[in-house]
Amino acid sequence: MASVTSLTANVHQRLADALTAALPAADTVADPLLRRSDRADFQANGILALAKKAKANPRELAAVVVGQVVTGDVIKDIEVSGPGFLNITITDKAIVENLAARAADEERLGVPYAENPGTTVVDYAQPNVAKEMHVGHLRSAVIGDSVVKLLEFSGENVIRRHHIGDWGTQFGMLIQYLDEHPHELDHKADTEDTAASGAEAMSNLDRLYKTARKLFDSDEEFKTRARRRVVELQAGDPRTLAMWQKFVDESKIYFFSVFEKLDMEIRDPDIVGESGYNDMLDETCRLLEESGVAVRSEGALCVFFDDIKGPDGNLVPLIVKKSDGGYGYAATDLSAIRDRVFNLKANTITYVVDARQSLHFKMVFETARRAGWLNGDVEAHQLAFGTVLGKDGKPFKTREGETVRLVDLLDEAIERATAVVREKDTQNQLSEEEIAERGAQVGIGAVKYADLSTSANRDYKFDLDQMVSLNGDTSVYLQYAYARIQSILRKAGDARPAAHAELELTEAERALGLHVDGFAEMIADAAGEYAPHKLAAYLYQLASLYTTFYDKCPVLKADTPAQVENRLFLCDVTARTLHQGMALLGIRTPERL
Ligand code: ARG
């Protein structure tokens, strides 16, 4: 279906044309700086600056523009206000016709594709093998998933990469222990239930990790054997690698169970962990050393930066290869950049990673720039996210001071949400199964929405009471708005949604309609700025405007059949916009709640 020109874009074009005609000498395209406004439908603030540049009187210039603009079809009124602003009102007819054109596009609600799509690699949802997932992994997964969806919806070619932590010296200890206790990863239960096998996998891994660690710290001989294992692993000894693979596979059972709980599709081929770049590490170092980007310092291969110093005032380098010959996180990330630029042909690489790793990425990106891997054609940046805080405003920990397990949090959210769904179902219309399904959709939606509704770089408080509250800026509020619309549509009987552009609209209908029309522009902004919180804010406002409309305008009991149909139409296009927007946040919109 064809994309729809929004009213904003339409009015913008008319004003820009009028301005260009009024200012023939201007060398650039005149931007009227059009904004939605409370006083009229739109306000244009650009005339002041343009008049100043052209040494003209702003009010006079504004009057010329007003004289040039055709009114009647789209623009109802245009008038000069204050020192040279323009207030613009749109005709009711244009609003309804515009929404009708959007509604006719089943798939995209008239949202156009971005003009110059490219290839973006998104590095997100990157837990670590043999370790529990925590709230940091939640943020990366939730934000990354929404960014991927927003970009894909805009027409970008997106390649997902889950850079899991699957390599490192700790595997020597784990593998050695497993070799000496070969049945430690065996599953006792033979179950089809992913959650159950995920839980068993993690408890196996956790137990094994703890006992191996204890032995490693207390038994010098085991320590020596474990260290030898690391060397064998890095040398690619087949038996050692096979055992390492067992840890990876076991961890994947666990990861997939968590991602399933999160209602998130993570695909196995997109999981390319640190180990995936092993074959490139030598060459990465060689290229950096030969080009002089990296230098030898105290036996290690390092990259230095003038502005990065430690507390003692000495330069802190990025260590690409350690003095013992081992490679670390930086070498892997630099090799991953080469892969993403030269093999995957990325134009943009986006890393959805905790802000506490910002220094690492700053150094890695600068190194890659010096090496010429990143340049004007390929950019990398970190979509850095803040810390999840407990109710007390401190980083989220259990009472014992331990990291909170992500699964426990998700289970608690689902439990609370299920209680809310049950309580709301006063007439006992839902079966137990339905309550459980809705409870999961509401609970997981609540967790995702709380994360996505504040801008990623800020910390936020993990407060379940607030998250599952029916009032306020929560996903439950949005889900209920959606379900309420569906219930009206079901009750409509023979009356079907239909646009009637000849009708006069009330204020509440106009406000709702204009907001729905703004969906496409918001999507372009949110995708362009990697800002799902803009989408969340838009949806919250949409639901609020809908609530006002619903309170003020009877739908099924409207005055005339045409008005009933037109209001049903407004309901329907609102619901579809909510549904589409929520889907881009990774949140379900159940038909009934
Ligand atoms: N596994 C890391 C962690 O848990 C995050 C990896 C981020 N991605 C990257 N390319 N370094 O902190």
68 in Cβ contact with 21 (< 8 Å): yes
Q: Quick one: pLDDT band at residue 285, thresholds 50, 70, 90?
A: very high
46 in Cβ contact with 88 (< 8 Å): no
In a domain, 435, yes or no: no
Ligand 1 centre distance from Cα of residue 580 (Å): 30
| Cα Rg, the chain, nearest whole Å | 29
In a domain, 238, yes or no: no
- Cβ-based neighbour number of residue 305 at 10 Å: 16
Most ligand 1 atoms within 8 A of CB, residue of 138, 271, 357, 359 to mutate? 357
Q: Quick one: pLDDT band at residue 56, thresholds 50, 70, 90?
A: confident
Q: Give the separation between CA 353 and CA 355, rounded to whole angstroms.
A: 6
pLDDT value at 208 more than 70: yes
Report CA-CA distances (Å) from 197 to 132, 179, 415: 14, 22, 20
In a domain, 116, yes or no: no
User: Domain range holding 58?
Assistant: 7-90
Ligand 1 centre distance from Cα of residue 126 (Å): 6
Report CA-CA distances (Å) from 105 to 4, 283, 578: 9, 50, 15
Ligand 1 centre distance from Cα of residue 582 (Å): 27
Report CA-CA distances (Å) from 580 to 144, 418, 516, 552: 18, 24, 12, 25
User: So what's the pLDDT on residue 320?
Assistant: 97
Give the tokens for residue 431.
Answer: 């079966």
19 in Cβ contact with 65 (< 8 Å): yes
Q: Give the separation between CA 204 and CA 493, rounded to whole angstroms.
A: 56
pLDDT value at 27 more than 70: no
Closest CA to 569 of 233, 101, 41, 139: 101
257 in Cβ contact with 199 (< 8 Å): yes
In a domain, 224, yes or no: no
Ligand 1 centre distance from Cα of residue 394 (Å): 23
DSSP code of 473? S
> Where is pLDDT greater, at 175 or 328?
175
Please report, for the domain that includes residue 81, its CATH number: 3.30.1360.70
Atom number, ligand 1, closest to the C-alpha of residue 357:
12
Q: What is the pTM of this model?
A: 0.95
Pocket of ligand 1 (CB under 6 A): 123, 126, 128, 163, 165, 333, 336, 351, 353
User: b/e per residue, 97-116, with b = 16+ CB within 10 A?
Assistant: bbbbbbbeeeebbbbbeeee
| Average pLDDT over every residue of 314-325 | 94
89-131 pLDDT tens trace: 999 999 999 999 999 999 999 999 999 999 999 999 999 999 9
Most ligand 1 atoms within 8 A of CB, residue of 123, 126, 166, 350 to mutate? 126
The CA angle 533-538-539, to the nearest 5 degrees, is 100
User: Whose alpha carbon is nearest atom 11 of ligand 1?
Assistant: 333
Give the tokens for residue 406.
Answer: 């992500």
| Average pLDDT over every residue of 275-288 | 97
In a domain, 44, yes or no: yes
Atom number, ligand 1, closest to the C-alpha of residue 165:
1
Examine the fold and report which residue of 64, 90, 116 is the final residue of a domain before the chain moves on.
90
Tell me the three state secondary structure of residue 455.
Answer: coil
User: So what's the pLDDT on residue 26?
Assistant: 63
pLDDT value at 4 more than 70: yes
Ligand 1 centre distance from Cα of residue 411 (Å): 25
Atom number, ligand 1, closest to the C-alpha of residue 360:
11
| Average pLDDT over every residue of 448-474 | 93
- What pairs with residue 79 in β-bridges? 87
In a domain, 414, yes or no: no
> Where is pLDDT greater, at 189 or 247?
247
103 in Cβ contact with 576 (< 8 Å): yes
Looking at every residue in the chain, the average pLDDT score rounds to 94
Please report, for the domain that includes residue 499, its CATH number: 1.10.730.10
Atom number, ligand 1, closest to the C-alpha of residue 329:
11
Q: Give the separation between CA 405 and CA 426, rounded to whole angstroms.
A: 34
pLDDT value at 1 more than 70: no
| Average pLDDT over every residue of 236-253 | 95
User: So what's the pLDDT on residue 53?
Assistant: 86
pLDDT value at 151 more than 70: yes
Ligand 1 centre distance from Cα of residue 274 (Å): 9
Q: Give the separation between CA 372 and CA 393, rounded to whole angstroms.
A: 42
Q: Give the separation between CA 438 and CA 475, rounded to whole angstroms.
A: 13
Examine the fold and report which residue of 62, 90, 118 is the final residue of a domain before the chain moves on.
90
In a domain, 139, yes or no: no
Most ligand 1 atoms within 8 A of CB, residue of 163, 251, 272, 406 to mutate? 163
Ligand 1 centre distance from Cα of residue 467 (Å): 27
Work out how many domains the chain is built from and give that number: 2
Atom number, ligand 1, closest to the C-alpha of residue 333:
10
In a domain, 442, yes or no: no
pLDDT value at 249 more than 90: yes
User: So what's the pLDDT on residue 149?
Assistant: 98
User: Whose alpha carbon is nearest atom 8 of ligand 1?
Assistant: 163
The CA angle 28-514-532, to the nearest 5 degrees, is 80
519 in Cβ contact with 545 (< 8 Å): no
Ligand 1 centre distance from Cα of residue 128 (Å): 8
397-437 pLDDT tens trace: 877 888 889 999 999 999 999 999 999 988 888 999 999 99
| Average pLDDT over every residue of 367-395 | 94
| Average pLDDT over every residue of 455-475 | 92
Atom number, ligand 1, closest to the C-alpha of residue 354:
12
The tokens 């997100």 sit on which residue? 124
| Average pLDDT over every residue of 73-96 | 95
The CA angle 130-134-139, to the nearest 5 degrees, is 125
Examine the fold and report which residue of 90, 114, 135 is the final residue of a domain before the chain moves on.
90
Q: Give the separation between CA 586 and CA 147, rounded to whole angstroms.
A: 10
Ligand 1 centre distance from Cα of residue 199 (Å): 23
**Percentage of residues in the chain with pLDDT exceeding 70?**
99
351-366 pLDDT tens trace: 999 999 999 999 999 9
User: So what's the pLDDT on residue 399?
Assistant: 78
Ligand 1 centre distance from Cα of residue 270 (Å): 14
DSSP code of 37? -
